[in-house]
Amino acid sequence: MKKIKKLLAVFAAVSVALMLPLQTMAAVDLNAKYDISTNQIQGWPAGPDITSDTGILMDADTGVVLYNKGGDEQRYPASITKIMTLLVAVENSTMDEKVTFTETGVRNVTADSSNIGTKVGEVLTMEDCLHALIIQSANDVAAQIAEHIGGTEQAFIDMMNQRASEIGCTNTHFANSSGLPDDNHYSSARDMALIFREGLKNETFRTVVGTPDYIIQPTNMNSQQRILHTHHPMFAPESGFYYEGCIGGKTGTTVAAGHTLVTGVTRDNTTYIAVTMRGTELSNSCMDSTAMFNYAFENFTKTEVNGGYVFLPKGVELNSLTEKSENTNGKTETGYYFGDYLIGTASVAQATDTPVPEPTAAAEDSQEAEASTESAGEDNSKTTEKSTAGENSSEKKSIPALRKILLMIMAAMILILIALLAALRIKEKKHHK
C-alpha cells in the first residue's frame, strides 16, 4: 500500500512539472492581436499604428505611459533579457572582478548562439563581460556572469526574478540569463520598460548600455583583441535608423520571439523608453520605435509642477487636470489625471512642527534657579511694597497728631495772650483812680 502511495505521489509531481510549461505556452498567445489602448482615451492624441505585436512608450523619470499597444501581454523577450542580467550584475559585483570561464559559459559557444568565443579557464574582467553581454549579446558571457555572481546559474536566475518582482513586473518570468528559447521564459513590453527604467538609475548600468564601441584586450587564452560594435541600429551613427539622442538599449531575436527591441532616447531634459516585442524584422522594430518617439516629442509637453512633472497632451492646460492627493510616509503624493488617466505625479514633504528639546539636568537646575530668583524678586518686591505702604500709613497717621498738638499750643498761647490783656486792663483802671 505504501509503495502504491509513493508511486502516486511521484506521478502527481511529474504531472505538475510537465504541465507547467504547457500552461506557460498557453499564456503566451502568439496569435493574439491588440489595439492601441491609449487611443481609446477621450481627447488623447492618436498614436501611430506600429507593426510589432506589442509596444509601449514610457517616461523614464515618472513611469507615465504615453503609448500602449498590448503593453501588459506576455511575449518572449529573447536577448533583451540581458538588460535584467546587466542590472542584477552591476548591483552585485564590481567592474574589476576577475571572471574565470567554465563549461557553464563555454557550452554556449556554438554556431547558432551569439558569443565571443571564450574558452574554459579564460579570465576576463567583469567590465569586459558586461560590455560583451550588451554590445555583442554574448550568451556564453551571460551564463558565466550568472554562475560567477550567483554561485550557480539557477541562483542568479532566482535573483533576476526576485528583482523583477521588486521593480513591479507582473507578467515576467526568467528561466535563463541570456534569453535563449524556453517556454517558461517570458515578459511584457511594460515590464521590460520598467526594468530598463530601473537600470537607468544606476550609473554603471547607464555607462554600459551607453557604450557603442568597446575593445576587450588580449587575455590569458586569447592573443587577439576583441573589437565590439553595437548591434542596435538606432544607437549606431552610421545606421540609417540612427535616432538623435539615443542613449542605448538592446536588441533580441529568436524564431518564437521575433524581433524585440528596447531603446532609450533623451532630448530636452526628457528621457523616453520605447519597447517593441515580436516584430517581423529589426528594421520594422526600429521604425516602430522611431514612430513612438516622434509621437511623444510632437504631442506632449513635459511640465513641471511642485514636486514632480506632468505630460500635457497638445492643447491641454494644467488647470484642467484632476488632482488626487494622499499623505504617505510624511509626504503628500499627488496624481494628475487627464480624465481617469494618470499623466503625472508629484511628491512634497509635509510640514512638521519644530520639535521642543527635552530639558537637560543643567537646564532644569538653571530653570529652578531662575524660578528661585524670580520668587525672591517677587518676595522682595512684596516686602518693599509692604514697607512703603507702612511708611505711607505712618505718615498719614502722624499728620493729624501734629496738627492737634499745634492747635493745642496755639490755643494755649491765645489763652495766655487773653490773660495778659485782661491783666493789663485791670492795672490801667487802678492807675487812673
Angle between helix 139-150 and helix 126-135 axes, rounded to 10 deg: 140
**Which positions ≥6 away from 237 have C-beta within 8 Å?**
212
d(CA 268, CA 4): 70
Per DSSP, 356 falls in state P
User: pTM for the whole thing?
Assistant: 0.76
In the residue annotation, 331 being an active-site residue is answered as no
Amino acid at 387: S
Helix, strand, coil fractions of the chain, as percent rounded to 5:
45, 20, 30
The residue annotated as part of the active site, out of 52, 93, 114, 137, is 137
The DSSP H or E segment spanning 427 is helix 361-432
In the residue annotation, 137 being an active-site residue is answered as yes
The residue annotated as part of the active site, out of 52, 79, 188, 285, is 79
CB 185 within 8 Å of CB 81: yes
In the residue annotation, 289 being an active-site residue is answered as no
Q: For residue range 221-264, list pLDDT tens digits in order.
A: 999 999 999 999 999 999 999 999 999 999 999 999 999 999 99
- Looking at residue 397, its pLDDT comes to 44
- Looking at residue 14, its pLDDT comes to 36
d(CA 199, CA 90): 9
The residue annotated as part of the active site, out of 82, 187, 188, 285, is 82
Write 42-46 long-range contacts (CB < 8 A, 24+). Answer: 42/339, 43/313, 43/316, 43/338, 43/339, 44/313, 44/338, 44/341, 45/295, 45/299, 45/300, 45/313, 45/314
Buried/exposed code over 304-317 (b: 16+ C-beta within 10 A; e: otherwise):
ebeebbbbbbeebe
**Which positions ≥6 away from 158 have C-beta within 8 Å?**
150
Per DSSP, 320 falls in state G
**Bridge partner list, 342:** 337
DSSP string, 51-111: SSSEEEEEETTT--EEEEESTTS-B--GGGGHHHHHHHHHHS--TT-EEE--HHHHTT-ST
Q: For residue range 390-413, list pLDDT tens digits in order.
A: 444 444 444 455 566 766 777 777
* pLDDT profile of the chain (433 residues), mean per 10: 41 39 56 96 97 98 97 98 98 98 97 96 98 98 98 98 98 98 97 98 98 98 98 98 98 98 96 98 98 98 94 95 92 95 93 61 52 49 46 46 68 77 70 56
